[in-house]
Amino acid sequence: MKSEDQSFPVPARRHFLNQLGAGSVGLAVAGGLMAACSDQSPPAAPSPAATGPGPSAAETAAAAPYAFDGEHQAGIVTPAQRHIYFLVLDLHTSDVQEMRDVFKRWTDYARRLTRGDNIAAYGDNPHVPPVDTGEADSLGAYQLTLTFGVSPSFLKKLGLQDQLPADFVDLPAFPRDQIRPVLSGGDICIQSCANDPQVAFHAVRQLVRQARSSVTMKWSQAGFNAFERGEDTPRNLFGFRDGTANQETLKKADEFIWVDTPNWLQGGSYLVARKIQMHLETWDRTSLKGQEDTFGRVRPSGAPLGAQAEFDAPDVQARDAKGQYVIPENSHMGLSKRSGIQLLRRSFSYASGIDPVTGQFDAGLLFVSFQKSPGQFVGVQSALGRIDRMNEYITHIGSGLFACFGGVREGEYLGQALLESPRA
């Protein structure tokens, strides 16, 4: 990235992604584990990194930045990037004016970061710490998006509980949850997504660094997406396409994603984050038929069982010659589809080393969904319940619910309608 008074050309994409492929450090449940487009008409969704020296044409196009300002926050219906750094923060203050100042600074910094700039120009005094930490100098924006949300506890700590929408309450406990306190709750979330992991982390680092007196870090997760050449739907660590159902949800964004009630959240969306541990060793001992019956989809193509192509509509009522459901009643996709509920999945895989207790991979999915109401997620998750075949292979260990503000325009700042409400 460049400082505001400097002009660094965006360099050829580094070979980092080519060398690491899909296994770089990082954060996906979508069409698979619970089955993204900007309002600024962004370029096409990122294509996979080309092999061989130098950037491909697709990679060059993917470097075009997404605008931060708009009717909605970027990073919700924006095509999913390759990397995420997701951070949850706790408040250190109950002073509304202090948080106004924080969000004003964050809005200014986010505009600069998503352009590929540093948060401020470097000064000329070498005896003081630089304002920007510099690890993204000259890298460009890599389609960085920054999406901000707040939880019910954020409003309560600031004395704004009378501004809580009726459906904005903490998620209930679900069957088979094993939520760890250190991976749940929190007051603020920042979702930083980019096509370079260092750019995504750099952005979050700058935002936190400039608000240390007001917030403290609670939990975070880095993650990654793996796209096949010529395909937009990534695969999760179970080998299945993840996000197939999003196409239909995006066509009805006003119905399923955007809040339209006339309050401070108008134009925003509710974000649910679930850290889902995937038991890879158990999965790897399961037959291919068992895996496909668990998902309700064909692994190579992503097609619903009984169909031919990934985006064919699943027929959850179809039966075979023996009268058995073609898509098993207790399959993950079958249960989800029968609920009749739609939401937008924008999830990322993660691989965080080895679990010191089990000696197995500490890997899984940072499930992120956006919906018009938290009730959509609650409805789908309740439909899965205890009978979902997937339960044998996954454990939900982290959870959070956040309201993501509507977009901002020039002269406005994030959360302004809430933080300057009559009771604020």
CA distance readout (Å), 35 to 75, 76, 332, 333, 338: 18, 16, 8, 7, 12
**Whole-angstrom Cα distance, residue 98 to residue 199?**
28
What's the token pair of residue 286? 């399961």
**93-107, 156-170, 225-239: the lowest-pLDDT one:** 225-239
15, pLDDT greater than 60: no
With left for phi above 0 and alpha for psi between -120 and 50, is residue 142 left, alpha or beta? left
Q: Measured between alpha carbons, how far is 339 from 319 in angstroms, rounded to an integer?
A: 19
Average pLDDT, the chain: 86
190 SS3 class: strand
Distance of alpha carbon 319 from the chain centroid: 36
Which residues make beta-bridge pairs with 269? 404
pLDDT over 80 at 287, yes or no: yes
Q: Which residues pair with 399 in a beta bridge?
A: 184, 274
pLDDT at 140 over 60: yes
pLDDT in tens, 93-127: 999 999 999 999 999 999 999 999 999 889 899 99
pTM summary value: 0.85
Sign of CA dihedral 412, 414, 417, 421: negative
Residue 294: which region, alpha, beta or left (left: phi > 0; alpha: psi -120 to 50)? alpha
Q: Is the pLDDT of residue 421 over 60?
A: yes
Q: Which residues are CB-neighbours of 190 under 8 A, at least 6 positions away?
A: 86, 87, 89, 146, 147, 148, 204, 207
DSSP state letters, 233-294: S-B-TTSSB--TTHHHHHHTHHHHT---SSSTTTT-EEEEEEEEEE-HHHHHTS-HHHHHHH
Roughly how many angstroms between the first and final C-alpha of the chain, as a whole number? Answer: 36
Q: Is the pLDDT of residue 189 over 80?
A: yes
Q: Is the pLDDT reported for residue 41 higher than 50?
A: no
User: How many Cα atoms occupy the beta-carbon half-sphere of 369 within 13 Å?
Assistant: 34
The helix/strand/coil state of 353 is: strand
Flag whether pLDDT at 30 surpasses 90. Answer: no
Share above pLDDT 90 across residues of the chain, in percent, rounded to a whole number: 76
